[in-house]
Structure 1
Amino acid sequence: MNEHIQIERRGAIQSIRMNRPDKKNAITRAMYAAMAEALAAGDGDPDICCHVILGVPGAFSSGNDLADFMTVATGGEGGREVYDFLLALAKSQKPIVSGVDGIAVGIGTTINLHCDLTFATPRTEFRTPFVDLGLVPEAGSSLLAPAVIGRQQAFALLGLGEGFTAERAKEAGLIYAVVSEAELEAAVFEAAERIASKPPEALKIARDFLLGDRAPLIARIEEEGVQFRNRLKSDEARNAFMAFMSRKK
């Protein structure tokens, strides 16, 4: 497993924690690979009934590691790690509960569209600056977000790149509940334990009905991925990344 991904087991619950606080949990290719592997392993383990995804205090994730973006933008090749992780999310056979505190940018927001329950703290802000970076939505968010929060809220999130506070996200239906920072992980694991206590076959059938046919979602993830990779090599994206890196320096 990657050093920045911590996998733990609590009874029938598997927790996946992004733990790269010095980079605000910017996700590298190796981190994507480790999370994809963990989701697949948990799905294949009959003793695991629920996945939990967590970040660190103040940072769920600041999004994709920009160094990986720059590699592709400057002519390098990307790997399959991101795609494998997104497919693992979309195909998950076990419910997923997430706990979000603080920064939730890009994939740090769109992960939660795949979760069955998301808890967030009042200081959390969900933001997807894809278009501002010359890119397009990812993780099937262009399909999921309109279905979950409505077209106009989805356009505000994915097109305008507006930040959603935790309260706005809850009102829109993007997340399940807002809890304090001190209560976040307890609330997440309490929900996961409730899930794990349900009759697993009945819960799986109910969840499959709620999710519906996943083929269109998987197809959309692929379509977005093609456009995303093309956009990474565009002048718009290259200029946006260079401007962003200059501001950081």
Structure 2
Amino acid sequence: MTDHVLIERPEAHPGVQVIRFNRPEKKNAITRDMYAKMTNALTVASTDPAVRATAFLGTDGCFSAGNDMADFLAFAMGGSMGMEVIEFLRALATATKPVVSGVDGLAIGIGTTIHLHCDLTIASERSVFKTPFVDLALVPEAASSLIAPRIMGHQRAFALLAAGEPLTAGEAVDAGLIWKIVDADAVERETLALAGRLAKKPPEALRIARDLVRGDRSEVLARIDEEAKHFAAQLKSAEARTAFEAFMRR
């Protein structure tokens, strides 16, 4: 595996597992190995009674720039989204315990859609959320095409997922994508404190409450698979090839 993702259990916050992006030199762009490590951590969290909440964190000024394009293109040309990605999305969508996230700065692609599966997200004022799927001749993923319209309505969801328009932190709060905004130097502290408070609650009552709020996951899982089929088909298209070539020339 790789240390580009750190899995931590901070002593100051018993019951909390942290999944931390640790690749700041690449703006925390996610590789297949990173996806696999995060999937394993989520799987462990679901079965280990010592873990009661999971927190996603990035680095100073950057949550994640999304997929590592070089790594992504290495298998994308074969017309596959990559099983590591699908397995991560399914593990995230079916997490049995609370998942929170803390965002400071850049949140692109999966760096944005991951928060649709989080129960609470804290962000700094300088955070920016953007999904340039269509700009790369691709389609939304992570069941974002299902969840985002439900949360923020058609217009905002279309602006984010199809038009590729960015959301500021304030706009993300208004849209229901994130919970609240704090100072940049408080993002990690507030996120871990939040996860710690959840970890102290009666676990079975919290599980039931969370399941009632989130509802049946089967529709979400079906949309993840449907999006993946369209994603794979687009990867084989001439317009995607043109878009990728233009991106790599930047």
Please indicate the TM-score interval, normalised by the length of the shorter structure: over 0.9
- Give matches, 1:76-155, under 5 Å: 79-155=82-158
- Shift of residue 77, structure 1, vs aligned partner: 5.5
Structure 2 residues without counterparts, runs of 5 or longer:
none
Corresponding position of 1:26: 29
Structure 1 residues without counterparts, runs of 5 or longer:
none
Figure out how many residues of one structure are paired with residues of the other and give that number. Answer: 247
Between the aligned partners of 1:129 and 1:76, the Cα distance in structure 2 is 19
Corresponding position of 1:161: 164
Aligned: 1:181 with 2:174: no
- Shift of residue 76, structure 1, vs aligned partner: 6.9
Between the aligned partners of 2:95 and 2:192, the Cα distance in structure 1 is 18
Distance 1:152 1:65, change over 3 A: same
Give the fraction of aligned pairs with identical amino acids, expressed as a percent: 57
Corresponding position of 1:171: 174
Aligned: 1:36 with 2:65: no
Between the aligned partners of 2:88 and 2:5, the Cα distance in structure 1 is 13
- Shift of residue 230, structure 1, vs aligned partner: 1.4
Give the TM-score normalised by the residue count of structure 2: 0.96
- Shift of residue 48, structure 1, vs aligned partner: 0.8
- Shift of residue 68, structure 1, vs aligned partner: 2.9
- Shift of residue 78, structure 1, vs aligned partner: 5.5
Deviations, residues 87-114 of structure 1 (Å, cap 9, x unaligned) = 0100000100100111100000000000
Task: List, as ranges, runs of 4+ consecutive aligned residues in structure 1 with deviation greater than 3 Å.
Answer: 72-79
Distance 1:50 1:29, change over 3 A: same
Between the aligned partners of 1:149 and 1:118, the Cα distance in structure 2 is 15
- Give matches, 1:37-56, under 5 Å: 37-56=40-59
RMSD value, Cα: 1.2
- Shift of residue 235, structure 1, vs aligned partner: 0.9
Between the aligned partners of 1:120 and 1:211, the Cα distance in structure 2 is 21
Aligned: 1:12 with 2:21: no
Between the aligned partners of 2:242 and 2:76, the Cα distance in structure 1 is 10
Between the aligned partners of 2:247 and 2:47, the Cα distance in structure 1 is 41
Q: Which amino acid aligns with 1:9?
A: R
Moved more, 217-226 or 60-69: 60-69
Moved more, 131-140 or 65-74: 65-74
Kept after mapping to 1: 8 A contact 2:57/2:101 = yes
Give the TM-score normalised by the residue count of structure 1: 0.96
